[in-house]
Amino acid sequence: MTDAPRSRPRAFRLDELAPGGERDFVLEERPDAYEAETARLTGDPDEQAAEQAQAAGFLRRGSFGWGGLLISSLGGLIAFSFGLWLDQLIESLFTRSMALGFVGLGLAGLALLALVALIGREARAIFRQRRVALLHKALALAHETDDRDLARAKIGELAAIYQGRPATAAARAHLEDLRGEIVDGRDLIEIAERELMPALDAAARREVAGAAKRVSLVAVISPRAAVDLIVVAAQALRLIRRIAEIYGGRPGLLGAWRLARAVGSHLAITGGMALTDGLAQQIIGHGLAAKISARLGEGVVNGALTARIGISAISVCRPMPFFAEKPPSLGDVAPFLFSDSGKGEGAKRER
């Protein structure tokens, strides 16, 4: 749309033509532009899934439930009985000998100290994971509304998360410079993503690839089905913890529970979408691998499942949605599982 040739307002009648009449213009219908605009505003389903999953995991608020009440009250009783037992133990130690009593008391004190430290660490871990999730939400909002002030504040927080990592120092310094300049909110966020995220994304992908490889290998060589079940579970748990750490979270014990919950609900939400994402191909392909060897086919499916878990973990742990970067697909993280179909899928994604 240019101003150069000043076009005057014009009207073209579209009524029925008289027989033999001919229009001197051509009317070309155009696709509705507003639908495209709406699609841009409502955001892509991937991002919505990630936010919902985060809400179900990290940002979950405690709510009242009878089951919870039962567990807490039983826990209280057990704590009492444990305290009683400890008290009796130390008392009986003292009756035997003064020295033994003091040693027992000292050990109990040390145990208490360790417990307090553990609780503190857990709380901090949960808090930190929560902060990453909130950051994700705020950055998504700032990107959507192109809010410069919000973007600036949140980019500062983002840089602060990676404070202790020398590898990100250059990127952080660059962002700090940019924050002072006049850059649109949306652009600032995209620059931050391009500066900070690729290294982390690559690390997370390597992690996923490694886990998928190990799981499929174990499935092929394991002597019993139960063994590879345990291996898959352990690898999946280890994988999502590693990914959370890469992106700046710090899952502890309870934190891991929340993390698993978030990843689980992301898997559940995106389960339907996943069928279009190569997993279906994989299960169909399984037939082929299974014909060669049942074990091999199983190994491939287990690997693909682990890779999907890894992708879900990336989506929920990443402190920002994928704006400028491309979200990883199964073919990206575990190309060895898709040796022949991977290329076709890659070509499809290029569109």
Name the minimum Å distance from CB 62 to other proteins: 13
Tell me: does residue 34 bind other proteins (CB under 8 A).
yes
Q: Would you say 218 and 180 are in contact if contact means Cβ atoms under 8 Å apart? A: no
Region binding other proteins by CB under 8 A among candidate stretches 7-15, 101-109, 170-178, 211-219:
7-15
Name the minimum Å distance from CB 254 to other proteins: 24
- The residue within the footprint of other proteins, chosen from 9, 67, 164, 287 (CB under 8 A), is 9
DSSP summary character for residue 154: H
First to last CA, the chain: 26
Region binding other proteins by CB under 8 A among candidate stretches 12-20, 102-110, 306-314, 337-345:
12-20
Closest-CA residue to 206 (of 147, 246, 178): 246
Q: Would you say 337 and 304 are in contact if contact means Cβ atoms under 8 Å apart? A: yes
Count interface residues toward other proteins (CB under 8 A): 26
Tell me: does residue 10 bind other proteins (CB under 8 A).
yes
- Judged by beta carbon, residue 43 or residue 346, the one nearer other proteins is 43
Tell me: does residue 15 bind other proteins (CB under 8 A).
yes
Tell me: does residue 64 bind other proteins (CB under 8 A).
no
Q: Would you say 262 and 53 are in contact if contact means Cβ atoms under 8 Å apart? A: yes
213 Cβ contact list (under 8 Å, min separation 6):
303, 334, 336
- The residue within the footprint of other proteins, chosen from 13, 224, 326, 351 (CB under 8 A), is 13
d(CA 337, CA 340): 9
Phi, psi of 99 (to 5 degrees): -60, -45
Tell me: does residue 12 bind other proteins (CB under 8 A).
yes
Phi, psi of 76 (to 5 degrees): -60, -45
Region binding other proteins by CB under 8 A among candidate stretches 21-29, 98-106, 148-156, 198-206:
21-29
Binding site for other proteins (CB under 8 A): 1, 3, 6-15, 24-30, 32-34, 37-38, 41-42
